[in-house]
Amino acid sequence: MIASGVLGAAPRCLGAVSGARAGPTVVITGGIHGNEPAGMHAAREVLAELRPRRGLLRGKVVAFSGNRRALERGVRFVSRDLNRGWHAPELERLAAAPEYALSIEDQEQRELHGAILTLEREAARLVFLDLHTTSGPTEPFVCFSDTPENRTLACALSVNVVLGLERTVDASLLSWASARGHVGVSFEAGQHDDPGAVRRHVGAVWLLLVAVGALEAAHVPDEASHVAALAPDAGRRALVVEVRHRHVVAVDDDFDMVAGFVGFDPIHAGQIVARDRRGPVRAPEAGLMLMPRYQGQGEDGFFLVREVACAPRPRGAERAPA
């Protein structure tokens, strides 16, 4: 079990390492949702390994905590989802509002936004890695705003690739970053309490540093273990899928997901996948299940995805521009 409470009151900046040579500024975010602390544990572990290697590092690596007060409580959020509302009208409202008028997540977002803008002033272009986990078991996967640079970066991780999520989830942190011209992906490492989630996050961070040219593969400690941590199970292959349907849950829906779904499970059209106050919730079409909601909070009940006829590039075949 990966407990939030061990983090205590996490600082906004979990740490930073500046390399001896010029290179990209990589921004790691963990704990954007308060019941997802694995990314913060992983960021701290990688930073500790990077410090004695700073002479080999190009650029800078900075890690930020997300929803600190939700992390202390071990809940997804206190009043609203911190991974929503990253668009100009909301950010302008937060910047202008007095402190007393802000909710907990408003305060968290204003502070995180300010920290990122400070980095922008130092380095015009940033590379983001937003680390997440899910309430149900799943193979690791990566999602992103679908630009050629983001796709190249995502495929360097050699895990399942999910396209189109940014079109169904409104105003996420990475959508905002992409709109500002930055590169970045969101990495889902598995279930919240999966002991392997931290290990997969650590692997994703190291491989991303190599993919953007911040570090040579030969300088990654135990690189083979990080590659193995992200590799599909024997007999499986990494999929490229696109989002076909998002089931939105209202607060008073009494939504209850049918037990036992695992990420990327096949689903047939009309299959009962959940129940709410109106009765059974059926899959509108055949596909694969993604992120079934087995937690009390959040407006995303589940997503249905379908494999698309394209394949990711081999790991290391092309370097993502920094």
Query: Is 296 domain-assigned?
Result: yes
The rounded distance, in Å, linking the Cα atoms of 116 and 136 is 30
Domain span at residue 68 reads 5-230
Last residue of a domain, one of 230, 252, 268: 230
pLDDT in tens, 25-66: 999 999 999 999 999 999 999 999 999 999 999 999 999 999
Strands across the sheet with 300-307, in order? 13-18, 58-65, 21-30, 126-134, 183-191, 141-143, 160-163, 240-248, 300-307, 287-290, 266-267
Last residue of a domain, one of 180, 207, 230: 230
Q: How confident is the model at residue 310 (pLDDT cuts 50, 70, 90)?
A: low
Residues 201 and 261 in one domain: no
Buried b (16+ CB within 10 A) or exposed e, 126-159: bbbbbbbbbbbbbbbbbbbbbeebbbbbbbbbbb
Query: What pLDDT does 24 receive?
Result: 96
Residue with tokens 């089931």: 247
CB contact at 8 A, 120 and 100: no
Query: Is 160 domain-assigned?
Result: yes
Q: Residue 139 has which token pair? A: 């193979």
- What is the sign, positive or negative, of the torsion defined by CA atoms of 284, 290, 293, 297? negative
The percent of residues in the chain predicted with pLDDT above 70, rounded, is 93
Residues 152 and 14 in one domain: yes
Nearest to 175 by CA among 314, 32, 31, 11: 32
pLDDT above 80: residue 150:
yes
Residues 163 and 126 in one domain: yes
Average pLDDT over residues 6-24: 86
Last residue of a domain, one of 172, 195, 230: 230
- Residues 6+ positions from 222 with CB-CB distance below 8 Å: none
Average pLDDT over residues 260-269: 97
Residues 75 and 51 in one domain: yes
DSSP 8-state code for residue 18 = E
The rounded distance, in Å, linking the Cα atoms of 67 and 82 is 7
Residues 120 and 247 in one domain: no
Residues 108 and 146 in one domain: yes
Q: CATH code at 111?
A: 3.40.630.10
CB contact at 8 A, 246 and 143: no
Q: How confident is the model at residue 320 (pLDDT cuts 50, 70, 90)?
A: low
- Per DSSP, the three-state class of 319 is coil
Q: How confident is the model at residue 314 (pLDDT cuts 50, 70, 90)?
A: very low
Q: Residue 55 has which token pair? A: 């002479």
Q: What is the DSSP string of 244-289?
A: EEEEE--TTS--EEPTT--TT-EE-TT-EEEEETTEEEE-SSSEEE
pLDDT in tens, 201-229: 999 999 999 999 999 999 999 999 999 99
As for how many domains the chain has, the answer is 2
Query: Is 320 domain-assigned?
Result: no
Residues 250 and 225 in one domain: no
- What is the sign, positive or negative, of the torsion defined by CA atoms of 234, 187, 241, 213? negative
Query: What pLDDT does 55 receive?
Result: 96
Residues 121 and 183 in one domain: yes
Residues 248 and 106 in one domain: no
Residues 112 and 260 in one domain: no
Q: How confident is the model at residue 1 (pLDDT cuts 50, 70, 90)?
A: very low
